[in-house]
Structure 1
């Protein structure tokens, strides 16, 4: 019988950070993560950068000592509610463990952390073609964001500056 546990990553723990970097690289090379490895120079400086950013929170879900998935979350602020919100920025479960409810367990751990720390909302982005993730996020209580249904769903856009 599996005993899943969600742990918040301690950025001062070399072991936890190494596990996080491995999981992040796994996600990056997955089609849903862009299918392109993160450069080694980025992975080398990322742990120190994460450690220096108090608004960053990472989580790993384990089955005993095996890391099964992770999430990187970023604190933000809602001007409409004058409250902190938490954006689930990176989220992935190892391919051989998908479809077992591990993502829901990870999301529940993130939600528990968010409630304990006074966040008023969780947000995330998802690719429109990632049907399994959309199904899981809906099961976890997420829905597309709308201010007014007549104006449609909010969209996540980007502009690269480099």
Structure 2
């Protein structure tokens, strides 16, 4: 275990807490600027409205990872989650929408600590599974997710794995 991983503290984020709000926005901006996050800074609109919209959105929750006890320490990572529902199991699920680990903390177990926290929260909420999307060429993220027990989704291997598609509105 790395020195950073030994000190990582993961907490449920409070969107209305000013310090945690600043940390969420800073980490989201770092993610947005990364090539795997689109390579552009977060928009002014998102900066201004993201926290209030997350706080109001039913089933949204986020976790933050800090280097230390989370009180005045450096924010290392963020996971944004949304509750969903599995019709096949008739139970809720958690979709992990954003996973951010600050560049300086990558490879130190921060992602694993946050995903383990989310898994415990999902179990407490009676969920059947966690879902997430990852870009095909984001191999470091895929490695981290596999280490945490994720794998490509397939109902039957004969039919292949599911693909994540989108349609802009």
TMscore range, shorter length: over 0.9
What TM-score, normalized by structure 1, do the two folds share? 0.95
CA distance in 1 between counterparts of 2:160 and 2:147 reads: 21
Q: Which residue of 2 aligns with 1:22?
A: 26
SS of match in other structure, 1:36: coil
Q: Which residue of 1 aligns with 2:93?
A: 85
CA distance in 2 between counterparts of 1:110 and 1:58 reads: 9
2:108 to 100, 108, 124: 100
Q: Which runs of 5+ in 1 are unaligned?
A: none
CA distance in 2 between counterparts of 1:110 and 1:34 reads: 25
SS of match in other structure, 2:154: coil
Q: CA RMSD in A?
A: 1.0
What TM-score, normalized by structure 2, do the two folds share? 0.92
Q: Which runs of 5+ in 2 are unaligned?
A: none
Q: C-alpha offsets along residues 78-135 of structure 1, whole Å, 9 cap, x if unaligned?
A: 1111100001100010011111111111111111111122111000000111111111
SS of match in other structure, 1:114: helix
**1:128 and 2:132 matched:** no
Structure 1 runs of 4+ with >6 Å offset: none
In the comparison of the two structures, how many residue pairs are matched? 161
**1:131-146 paired onto structure 2 within 5 Å:** 131-146=139-154
